[in-house]
Structure 1
Amino acid sequence: MATPRDYDADPERFRLATRVTERYLSGGRGQHEHVAEVLTGAGAGLVLDIGCGEGALHTALHTALHTALHTALHTEPRTALPVPARPRVVGLDASATMLARHPRPVVRAEATALPFPDGVFDAAVAVNVLYHLGDPVAAIGEAHRVLAPGGMFVTASPSRFDSPELAHVWRPEPSSFDAEDAPRLVARVFGRVEVEWWDAPLITLPDERAVRDYLIARFVTPGAAASAAARVRTPTTVTKKGAFVYGRR
């Protein structure tokens, strides 16, 4: 089933999710930072960020480019590393509220009907968005269509077994695009795919309030989240499970 979209009705839930990750990430990098490094390394110039939210990938790409430039300029000999291309991001989202805070250029549209001609992007990214769709394969097909030959598709989604330490109080709702199904669904369009799994203790929740906020960010109502959080021994470190899936046009 598709995960509900509340980005216009309750944008603060989305923003809370962002703050929880930033505040309590205790190991590794965020998903957008990882994708930005991949795109920078691939030399992607024009990037379509499908379900862009308020610009996390845009920010991460700016940081990744700065890091890559610094590395290139301070490596001896100076010609050892190529100077990376500066990626340009087009943000696309169905939510006007999200787009209002995203740097331009932005386009309001559905992932299943991209308003672009064929073969124009070097990369198309869909991080934590395809589970909102009843037919994610239709959106994957649209991403394939707008990619230039050799262009890269990157998507990411959590596992249906995410956050096992909280299983006694909460389990993720079934979705139309969880990590277990994502490789098969992407392969229906792109054929051969690469899968990069993550399974690591990445989020440390120090107290009951942090657990409550973590659950609210995952569509649990505030009252139910508070009740569940009271049953969790803290501090607790939560294992994040999911996958990145890569395809090439």
Structure 2
Amino acid sequence: DWLEVPDAAERCVVEGRASQRRCMSELAPHSVEQADGVVGAAGAPFSLRARLVSGACVSLPAHSLMHVRELQELLEGAFQIPAHEQRWVLHDTLLNLQSTASLEEAGLQGDGVLTVVCVKRDLCGCWICAAGALSEDDLTFEFQRVEDNEELQVRITPDEYACRCSCEVQGEQVIVMQNTEDASITWSGWLSADGNHIRGHWKLVVMRGPGLRAVHTETGDFRMKRLQVTEPHGDP
């Protein structure tokens, strides 16, 4: 059956990197573009681009001595995401978000891609998946378990594959189905004994034209690992 894709606009990821790319946003027409600075230099500005899963993005001013709380407040203002629901991941490592620390002290210096996972406090974990390419060798998948009902949110690059998906867990088997306007992707895999890795297969069905007839299919293997995310106890 063809699944309805829920609106994922309430979730976002944030990328911080030294870049000259310009980023326009319908969500935040007041946004400004920040000139690049020297990466790693104390107090140097660097480009920070926030993007909703739906694809809209906004440029934010940032510098290495900016406090974590300042950036959290910028994100909260831009996307209405409370600061205490933000988790920052850099190079597969969960950063320690002390509100009084600078971005440099938190480990962000504009030399990598920062992913901000906006979650509820009952977060079960963040899944990162590397798969055989659909069309490009660097295609990656990011999964985030967001609710107790085992629904997963997924961000897939290239951006045209970005949407949410449904997930069914049957014992140790995990079945994920995702749909866009013209493609259906199904993953099926098995949890490892430690519960932190999944191995399995994916199948892509591309739909075109009236009636969404399948004109092309691909299959392949994927490997997915879980980021260890420990939620704080008590009030943030």
TM-score by length of 2: 0.27
* Structure ranking higher in helix proportion: 1
**TM-score (normalizing by structure 1):** 0.26
Q: Which has the higher contact order (CA 8 A, sep 6+)?
A: 1
